Amino acid sequence: MSTLLADLLSRDPQRIWSSACAVIRLHGGPALDELAAHLPKIERETAGVALGGALFPNSEHLQQALGVLRVRRDGVCSCRLYPIYLMYDPEKEVQAGRVQMLYADGPSNWNMNYRCRCFRCGTDYDVEQGESHYAWWQWRAVQ
């Protein structure tokens, strides 16, 4: 059993939160395939665990990680998850080779607008960057 899987099944809030954040950063490979194969068990073991979170609920990280596993299991492009999670930094997604930056503009580093294209499926996204207590990014598929 992998460390990530053991952490997700541990019922320990800190281990679950930490491993959920690691799963979100995985976008392929055997580690993600192994976790996706155990999705029903992970969902059962993490249900009802209070994960806390002061400015942003840690349960949102877990829900996103479960979403990553679902799209992997179902063969759906992972970019479909961008609009439902505020933590996908488009510049980091470019560095990871998942999207192409078509343009970036804005009045400052905290309030930017981007247009990105998914390398896998070709979907274009308008991305709004904002900031309150932390930076966030709202992705919207271009119609």
Minimal CA–CA distance to 64: which of 112, 46, 55? 46
Kindly report the pTM of this predicted structure. 0.90
For 33-72, how does the pLDDT look when each residue is reduced to its tens digit (9 = 90+)?
999 999 999 999 999 999 988 878 899 999 999 999 999 9
And the tokens for 19? 């491993």
Sorting pLDDT into bands at 50, 70 and 90, what band is 1?
A: low
Specify the amino acid at residue 69. Answer: L
CB atoms within 10 A of CB 14: 12
Domain range summary for the chain, segments of one domain joined by +: 1-76, 83-143
